[in-house]
């Protein structure tokens, strides 16, 4: 058997799909990812995280609504000037009516954002009144908190006396 015959035989075992190009010519191309390929097998074997529940946000609290509110010019900080805050200062702001957190050394008044959070208020309150960097990085490492909460930035986290 020649190498071209072997190549033909191996290509016959590869799942293929038929496509039409813009000039209506039929193209017979390999399917990707292949039906029994490593990408599909890995995806099938990977279990989705348990306990993660979707939260239905109130009307007017979508990510687009948050972007509009941020750019509206409305004061979302709740402080007149930026400051330096300790962990003791943060502990005073742990209620749904007054929720602050620190993420990567920056302190945010996240009260205005609570109802916009896709995971719900309860989930976000887990980091209220404390340094939420570790939990944030575990669950949202791809999210740019600095941009998303820039309108809520109140200052910097510093070591206590």
Which pair of tokens denotes residue 103? 């993420």
pLDDT in the model for residue 32? 62
pTM of the model: 0.68
Q: Residues with Cβ < 8 Å from 149, sequence gap 6 or more? A: 103, 108, 110, 113
**Domain regions of the chain by residue span:** 3-45, 63-157
In terms of DSSP H, where are the helices of 13-118?
A: 38-45, 63-70, 87-91
Q: Is 122 exposed, middle or buried (0-12, 13-18, 19+ CB in 10 A)?
A: exposed
**CATH 3.10.120.10 applies to domain 63-157:** yes
> Residue 1 is inside which H or E element, if any?
none
pLDDT of 42-78, one tens digit each? 556 655 556 666 788 899 999 999 999 999 999 999 9
What percentage of the chain has pLDDT greater than the value 90? Answer: 58
Distance CA(123)–CA(142), nearest Å, equals 17
- Average pLDDT, stretch 110-139? 94
């Amino acid at each position: 058997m020649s190498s071209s015959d072997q190549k033909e035989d191996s290509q016959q075992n590869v799942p293929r799909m038929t496509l039409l190009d813009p000039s209506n010519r039929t193209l017979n191309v390999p399917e990707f990812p292949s039906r029994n390929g490593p990408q599909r097998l890995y995806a099938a074997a990977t279990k989705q995280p348990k306990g993660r529940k979707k939260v239905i946000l109130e009307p007017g609290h979508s990510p687009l609504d948050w972007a509009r509110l941020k750019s509206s010019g409305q004061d979302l900080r709740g402080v007149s000037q930026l400051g330096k805050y300790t962990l003791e200062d943060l502990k005073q702001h742990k209620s749904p009516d007054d929720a602050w957190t620190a993420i990567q050394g920056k302190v945010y008044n996240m009260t205005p954002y609570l109802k916009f959070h896709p995971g719900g208020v309860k989930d976000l309150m887990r980091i209220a009144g404390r340094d939420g960097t570790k939990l944030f990085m575990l669950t949202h490492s791809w999210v740019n908190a600095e941009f998303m909460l820039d309108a809520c930035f109140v200052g910097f986290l510093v070591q206590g006396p």
